[in-house]
A and B are shown apart, each in its own frame.
Chain A
């Protein structure tokens, strides 16, 4: 009987007629999720029992560190009998997974359940982040922008303000250009024994903390947003080949190199979480990173900063201070295309439940929020008061561009990671040499493919869910 019920449900999925699940619809269905151990998942993992009560489907979430997770997903995708029906996906992986047919196309499911998931309330770029050739392959669970976090308490300290203006000739405010960002980094870099905001430091204080590690291409996660803030592009629109060695890329690499002097001495090993750790412990004046970790800066259980000072938030600086599209990203949930029809439907129910407007609001109200992607939550005055960075998230995404989504993203991340890291370490003499080396290696791999295919890979077709 149970098998018959499952078979009938499977058929219903195939013809796209089911709506939301009711209690017991998925009794006996077991789903496993291959995921990261970051806020988009850690918030959800302890309460998956609620989903089982609601639908009957049991969900097991296996969490792994970011480095190496894509390897597990690729191996999972190439297996004939998958162990995981649900996958956590970083938006740049959509290209390779999409071109390989590893992810279930969610376009029709989203269209079908548009009202239930409040499709109109989701910031469009967060959905676009998850498309490949116009088809939606993953659903946002955490919407990110790359922006600057700074020590608001220090920036507003009268002595520091006066000293900064006396030295640089303009007031101390969040940087609008990268030159200002470097000035601020230099100004706040202090040794132990020096004074900071009227108090003597017992250990060094750093002007900035950025990711310079080559591990899993961490350095590229900071380099690319800076490159984009100078107006740079990843690919040559005429040939589909690497364009990340142009003027904007050079400027970005040089900004990062100039910032080295104001970073902690272990800068070459700074990965995402180590770099954000400096900000969370209040040991750096500023640090630009993905908003997915910004949520921790307001939570005294996860960061020291709220107890010793205050974090401020602003859009990313740009090359000349004029607006450039914000760099966005999405951490999303996807369905393994090799799962059975019943598993796919149960997995979609789980995605809807775990990313719903209600769930996101619940996380925000409980104080353990994720980086939000619903307009109504980001613009809620009460929540904005609690999470001041919501306004930055909302404003900056009005003019945003998605991250790199090319099928050769892993190659780009690794090759640029190593070459940029070598440049920052002083092993390569110039930024031009490092970027030319990286682009040459990428182009060697791309040139074996016909130009029309390369151009298709860089084409950001509009998500068809909006048709």
Chain B
């Protein structure tokens, strides 16, 4: 019984401070959407506005065909999983899960059926008579999800629910959440500042920055075609390297840019005539670079730090003018800190960002 969610011209102000500015977003029925952004960008506020825990200064929110921003939280048909889980400490798991149903006078056998079904799905049926104080972090998290499931909501809202878990459990729970979404087919909105969670879980990612939506897209769209310099630097690990551009030479097949003092980079990007080259940079992801023989064309990079990740090696170095560049080499890389290596850049994979941070990509399929 899930539904689409339409957020129209939402603005949130606290006195003179604007927290969200004219947000528009449509989430399809059954879609898994992740709000991703740094702390303070407004992603949790937007989620709480959908839940009804924050008021809206301007705009409206619809779930399905119904406008819900005028309704109290309990009548919006959404369920939320909090970062701290917010379980009722004095109630058992069963009571925690049943509380919402008791409030709307669901019949006792129906409550029992739903609680038992959810407990089975989440494998917490043996914990139903325990209070939250006697549960581990992971178990509490499952109970919080169970409390949401039993309500059979139109949409699930997750507010950084994995951030209190240790790394191993976080990975496992991430996978389970993806499976849960497949199984329930419900509309889900998930807030996180962790890009791995966003990339692995989302059908679409909404990148938020400075109180606005910076970009909406599938994980690969966001990764391969970042709309702005902020997105390019925020998404991806390691982050995209940004090299200042000295001069630009336009050709019909793309531009060749000269990176200050380090050489020329040929790209497949076609820039419009009105392109503003002031403070423009070229962005390169580590995996789109390669260490090549000294006689080949490329940039000279002095290696400062090496990160060996097993299957690949990340080389953190600086170009002649002091600009940082991260290069990916094979897992068996022989490069050592202090070496100077020649680095080539894949022309199709480079991105150019103008002085305002706006992105220009290669027209060729990456």
Q: Do A and B bind each other?
A: no
Q: B residues near A, CB below 8 A? A: none
